[in-house]
């Protein structure tokens, strides 16, 4: 009897073992067949089963890792992240061909599960088709109305600077962390544009919402986002930072919904105060039109699309600016000398001054190039089958347009990895535009807040340089390390803002 039970146990053991082996072999074979590279598809590194190339790139330096892979596989290559294929394009000439020459074919956004779950493909950043065209057209015209037409934002920006100087003055040249302060001043410009009012820096709701936005962007650039987009059904059921990201954007949307309700109570269609008023008017004007995409859910998504990138990108650039000026005091001195000559110390700068300040303008551009704020750009998707550099890219393919490879392209920049304002100056010292300078991307999906960002950077940077000399605390050297995410910020640091003599 024992022998019989022993044989049965042995049979069952081997049967289960065989079943597991068969199951594993079946899964691996199915994965290989399903995810085999199509004919004439761009080459790429070898993949692991199931997860693809998720662990083939350095998560802490993903933009650098992706740029290095181009040296092996060419300017157009492919990666498989989980079950999703993507094509990475590198170098100025290839990006120009994709985003400008074939711009219509690369103008879509991919259906990324986390983005879909958070925003339902509403708004202006991740929408497509008629919805995107309507929202972008309206947002651009409204930005022009409030920023560059009837109501200029220039005095608003300069007024915000007077508020931050009161805070900085309180430190009396002692070290402080500029992170929160810079987020505050840039956020307040967006607040005035969108909500019609600014917030005091000690406002608890204001501090909470700006922290939420920053945390949300960090999580969106993490491996958790890639895992969610690769295995959405599984990840929706599991706890983790991806759930935190979903909650952050849910709370952010609730905050904006509250603001929208407040606006509806005091709306005067004949005198719109801000972006929300203009949008609410548009909802009423297009009500009943079959092709209208204007509703309150889209309004909330558009506000987030303005608020989050509009705050984080400019504020982060200014954080890098302080670091670079502290690291290169001789460049800071030349900027201040030009400011003293053109503006002096008694009046505020103006956008009209920029044409007479080529060196300062060149320094700002070099800060943006070296800071590389959005290193991998927002993802694109093909709207049709495309031929690019001899390869066939199928319709609906996720495309990463690697801005890092352009801003540090050795074929476009004389000293790509050195901070050199001379990149933007000719032999006579005049400012020159460089075609490869595309930190705001290019083509149909170029950043819609580019003009606002340029105005903010010039006026804020010039104002800071006019009033203060920035230096590291005694015995501390500038550290130019970063924390990788959707946005590329420097590590937190303290700096001294020493008032200049008037």
Q: Is residue 178 part of a domain?
A: yes
Asked if the model's pLDDT at residue 11 lies above 70, the reply is: no
Question: For residues 83 and 363, which has the higher predicted lDDT (pLDDT)?
Answer: 363
Average per-residue pLDDT in the chain?
A: 87
Assess contact for 232 and 83: CB atoms under 8 A. no
pTM (two decimals): 0.90
User: What is the spatial distance between Cα 275 and Cα 195, in angstroms, rounded to a whole number?
Assistant: 7
Q: Quick one: residue 48, left, alpha or beta (phi over 0 = left, psi -120 to 50 = alpha)? A: beta
Q: Please report the pLDDT score of residue 34 as a whole number.
A: 57
DSSP 3-state assignment of 347? coil
pLDDT of residue 349: 95
Residue 219 has pLDDT above 90, yes or no: no
Closest CA relative to residue 279, chosen from 291, 297, 255, 254: 297
Task: Please state, for a pLDDT cut of 70, what percent of the chain lies above it.
Answer: 91
The pairing of beta strand 84-89 with beta strand 398-401: parallel
Give the mean model confidence (pLDDT) for residues 400-413.
Answer: 95
pLDDT value, residue 177: 94
CA-wise closest residue to 361 among 353, 164, 294: 353
Best CA proximity match to 89, nearest among 487, 403, 416: 403
Position 159 scores a pLDDT of 93
The pLDDT of 450-469, averaged and rounded, is 94
Residue with tokens 């009500």: 287
- For residue 298, being part of any structural domain is answered with yes
Instruction: Report the pLDDT value the prediction gives residue 148, as an integer from 0 to 100.
Output: 56
| Enclosing domain of residue 217 | 35-499
Q: How far apart are the first and last CA of the chain?
A: 103
- Which residues is 410 bridged to in the sheet? none
At 30, the pLDDT band (50, 70, 90 cuts) reads: low
Rounded to an integer, the average pLDDT of 251-259 is 87
Beta-strand runs (E) in 394-437: 398-401
Within-domain flag for 106: yes
Structure-token match 């993490």, residue found: 222
pLDDT of residue 16: 60
pLDDT of residue 217: 74
C-alpha 328: how far from its chain's center?
26
Greatest extent of the chain over all pairs of C-alpha atoms, in Å = 104
Token reading at 104: 């219509």
The pLDDT-based confidence of 59 (bands split at 50, 70, 90) is confident
- Higher-confidence residue of 464 and 80: namely 464
Provide CB contacts within 8 A for 410, sequence distance 6+. 416
Least confident of 18-22, 77-81, 123-127, 257-261: 18-22
The pLDDT of 70-99, averaged and rounded, is 93
Tell me the range of 87-96, 120-129, 447-456 where mean pLDDT is highest. 87-96
Mean pLDDT for 244-268 is 86
pLDDT of residue 173: 87
- Residue 374 CA to residue 308 CA, distance in Å, equals 13
User: Is 17 inside a domain boundary?
Assistant: no
Across the beta sheet with 84-89, the strand order is 76-81, 84-89, 398-401, 380-381
Alpha helices in 195-295 (DSSP H): 204-220, 223-230, 232-235, 241-265, 275-285
- Strand segments, DSSP code E, in 395-436 are 398-401
Q: Which of 363, 349, 359 is nearest to 466 (CA)?
A: 349
Question: Using an 8 Å Cβ cutoff, are 115 and 427 in contact?
Answer: no
CATH number for position 91: 1.10.630.10
Least confident of 228-242, 278-292, 358-372: 228-242
DSSP string, 356-405: G-HHHHHHHHHHHHHH-SSTT-S-EE-SS-EEETTEEE-TT-EEEE-HHH
Query: Of 433, 453, 425, nearest to 338 (Cα)?
Result: 425
What is the band of 27 on the pLDDT scale with cuts at 50, 70, 90? Answer: low
Please indicate whether residue 74 or residue 48 has the higher confidence score (pLDDT).
Answer: 74
Q: Report the number of distinct structural domains present in the chain.
A: 1
**Residue 162 domain-assigned (yes or no):** yes
Q: How many CB atoms lie within 10 A of CB 98?
A: 25
Residue 13 in this model has a pLDDT that exceeds 60 = no
> Helices 129-147 and 450-467 sit at what angle, rounded to 10 degrees?
40
pLDDT score for 343: 96
Q: What residue spans of 148-203 are helical by DSSP H?
A: 154-169, 179-194
- Asked if the structure places residue 11 within a domain, the reply is no
Taking only the tens place, the pLDDT of each residue in 116-160 is 888 888 899 899 999 999 999 999 888 888 775 545 788 999 999
Highest-scoring range by mean pLDDT, 142-156, 212-226, 252-266, 412-426 = 412-426
Confirm if 252 and 213 have CB atoms less than 8 A apart.
yes
Confidence of residue 20 (pLDDT cuts 50, 70, 90): low
- Is residue 7 a part of any domain in this protein? no
Per the domain annotation, does 15 fall within a domain?
Answer: no
Output the 3-class SS for 281-331: HHHHHCCCCCCCCCCHHHHHHHHHHHHHHHHHHHHHHHHHHHHHHHHCHHH
């Amino acid at each position: 009897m024992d022998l019989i039970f022993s044989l049965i146990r042995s049979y069952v053991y081997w049967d289960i073992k065989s079943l597991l082996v068969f199951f594993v072999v079946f899964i691996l074979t199915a994965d290989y067949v399903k995810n085999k590279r199509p004919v004439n598809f761009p080459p790429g590194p070898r993949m692991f089963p199931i997860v693809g190339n998720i662990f083939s790139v350095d998560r802490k330096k993903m933009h650098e890792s992706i740029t290095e892979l181009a040296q092996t596989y060419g300017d157009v290559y492919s990666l498989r992240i989980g079950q999703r294929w993507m094509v990475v394009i590198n170098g100025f000439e290839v990006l120009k061909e994709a985003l400008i020459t074939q711009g219509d074919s690369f103008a879509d956004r991919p259906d990324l599960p986390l983005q879909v779950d958070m925003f339902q493909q509403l708004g202006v950043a991740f929408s497509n088709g008629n919805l995107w065209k309507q929202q972008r057209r309206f947002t651009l015209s409204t930005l022009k109305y409030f920023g560059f037409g009837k109501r200029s934002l220039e005095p608003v920006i300069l007024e915000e600077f007077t508020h931050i100087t009161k805070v900085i003055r309180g430190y009396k040249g002692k070290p402080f962390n500029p992170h929160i302060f810079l987020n505050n001043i840039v956020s307040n410009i967006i607040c005035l544009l969108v909500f019609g009012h600014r917030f005091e820096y000690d406002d608890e709701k204001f501090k909470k919402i700006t922290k939420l936005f920053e945390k949300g962007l960090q999580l969106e650039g993490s491996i958790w986002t890639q895992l969610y987009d690769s295995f959405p059904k599984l990840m929706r059921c599991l706890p983790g930072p991806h759930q935190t990201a979903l909650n952050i954007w849910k709370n952010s949307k609730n905050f904006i919904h509250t603001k929208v309700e407040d606006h509806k109570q005091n709306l005067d269609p004949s005198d719109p105060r801000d972006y929300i008023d203009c949008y609410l008017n548009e909802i009423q004007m297009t009500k009943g039109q079959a092709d209208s995409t204007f509703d309150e859910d889209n309004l909330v998504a558009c506000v987030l699309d303005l608020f989050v990138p509009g705050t984080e990108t400019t504020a982060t650039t200014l954080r890098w600016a302080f670091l670079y000026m502290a690291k290169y005091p001789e460049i800071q001195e030349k900027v201040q000398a030009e400011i003293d000559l053109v503006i002096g110390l008694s009046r505020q700068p103006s956008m009209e001054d920029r044409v007479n300040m080529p060196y300062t303008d060149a320094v700002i551009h070099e800060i943006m190039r070296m800071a590389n704020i959005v290193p991998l750009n927002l993802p694109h998707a093909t709207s049709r089958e495309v031929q690019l550099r001899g390869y066939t890219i199928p319709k609906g393919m996720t495309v990463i347009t690697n801005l890092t490879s352009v801003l540090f392209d050795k074929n476009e920049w004389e000293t790509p990895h050195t901070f050199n304002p001379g990149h933007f100056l000719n032999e006579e010292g005049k400012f020159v535009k460089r075609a490869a300078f595309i930190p705001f991307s290019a083509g149909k999906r170029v950043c819609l807040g580019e003009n606002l960002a340029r105005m903010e950077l010039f006026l804020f940077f010039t104002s800071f340089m006019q009033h203060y000399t920035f230096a590291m605390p005694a015995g501390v050297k500038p550290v130019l390390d970063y924390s990788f995410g959707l946005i590329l910020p420097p590590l937190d640091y303290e700096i001294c803002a020493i008032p200049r003599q008037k």
